[in-house]
Amino acid sequence: MTPSLNPFLYVRRNPGKTLPIAFVIVLAVTLVASIVTIVHSIDLTIFTLYGYNKYLTGITPRNALVVDEAELAKIKKLPELGRMYPSHSYQTLIKTIFGKMVFPIFGLDAAGRAELMDRCSVRLVSGRMPEEGKPEAVISDDVAKNLSLKVGDVLSKPESQDSFAPVPVRLVGLLHGPVWLGLTSKALVDRESPFNFVGYLAFAKTNDARDQARLAEAIDHSLNKGKGRVWKFAGLVQEAQSALSNLYLIMDIVIGIIVFAISFVCGLLFNIYFTQRMPEIAMLSAIGYSRSSLIARSLGETVLLCLFGWMAGGVLTVALLLAIRETLMTPRGLLLNALDFPAFAFTMPVPVFITLFAMCTIGLRLATLDTVSIIERRA
């Protein structure tokens, strides 16, 4: 390629005209990626809050306080079953970006608590585990931040609207891991809340998530739905997708409008600065450069600006989301993935459509280019 047709030439020599266009692309990428990342934080919250369901299968009674013994007997005969623990639980409400959600405090015996923590790869990072029969509990450290609690504070109490327990339950330890957990003593809940229903947590023979999924399906097929409900991870995923489907539809519409508007504006900007260069284009055409080579040069300049704007927009987006997460989200126990790479996939149409709009307008101008008249006016 000759120096006159090098796409870097005009971009390098005229930053005052080209950088504003790149800046518009940066803003578009940042806007789209930020919106998608924030919406994806809803999924992230749900699957962190209830992610333990991937490593266990919950069974709760229907129209009774306990699961029917005949139904339990069928479950215990399943070859996929490893261990099963009775669970008698409390619950609290935690704050999310889309309102309050129920967070269970599982009442289990010591063996059940250890099993659940091991399956979920959760460990104790501060304080101690609750003692059997005492009004004590441990919760994940992010949940403690969300509830503005520290070790030694009261987690649940009789007068609380969001975190009820018949007796004050004190927080004695903090957990940390990929999912959130709350644990207390089953003996405590049995003694203080005799009329709450008792469920079961069933574990597969191995820690493999596929084995747990097979166990969940086996329990779901064997249990009489009129006498119990099965809580499985596949059901959680299905319910989350169903509940958020309209939200994602709205997000797709908004992003489509943003991409179209930004692409149209950038296409017009490219056309304006191309028009300002008509004498240069006409001169190149007059000295022998073909229109196809001029279009190729314009395409190179457009792609160069779009690529620069897209990359700079990605860097700005990550920096912005990291700042939001560290200053606003994490201190409140809210979740945000600043490196949400699927969100950046939504920004790919931005440079593509900008290039298409720009080349359409530039192509139309070159198709009607009158070299002689432009040079005469210039003279």
Helices within the chain (DSSP H only): 7-13, 15-49, 69-76, 110-119, 141-146, 186-192, 209-222, 233-275, 278-286, 291-324, 341-345, 349-367, 371-378
| C-alpha–C-alpha distance, residues 283 and 260, integer Å | 34
Nearest to 182 by CA among 86, 329, 51: 51
| C-alpha–C-alpha distance, residues 151 and 298, integer Å | 63
For residues 87 and 186, is the Cβ–Cβ distance under 8 A? yes
The backbone torsions φ and ψ at residue 165, rounded to the nearest 5 degrees and listed phi first, read -150, 145
The tens-digit pLDDT sequence of the chain (379 residues) is 555 556 666 666 667 777 777 888 888 889 888 888 888 888 888 888 888 989 999 999 988 888 889 989 999 999 999 999 999 889 899 888 777 888 999 999 999 999 999 999 999 999 999 999 999 999 999 999 988 999 999 999 999 888 989 999 999 999 999 999 999 999 999 898 877 788 999 999 998 889 999 999 999 999 998 888 999 888 888 887 787 788 888 888 888 888 888 777 777 777 777 777 777 776 766 676 677 777 777 788 788 888 888 999 999 999 999 998 888 888 777 788 888 888 888 888 888 888 887 777 777 777 666 665 655 555 5
The backbone torsions φ and ψ at residue 77, rounded to the nearest 5 degrees and listed phi first, read -85, -5
Q: Angle at the Cα of 336 (from 335 to 337), degrees rounded to 5?
A: 130
Q: Angle at the Cα of 76 (from 74 to 79), degrees rounded to 5?
A: 100
Strands 182-185 and 99-108: parallel
Chain CA centroid to CA 160, Å: 31
Strands 99-108 and 136-140: unpaired
| Paired tokens of 91 | 């619950």
- Three-state DSSP at 92 gives strand
- Three-state DSSP at 120 gives coil
- DSSP state, residue 197: -
- Give the Cβ contact number of residue 270 at 10 Å: 25
Q: What is the pLDDT of residue 186?
A: 92
- Give the Cβ contact number of residue 150 at 10 Å: 13
| Paired tokens of 73 | 């007997």
| Paired tokens of 353 | 């459509």
| C-alpha–C-alpha distance, residues 296 and 290, integer Å | 10
Strands 81-87 and 199-204: antiparallel
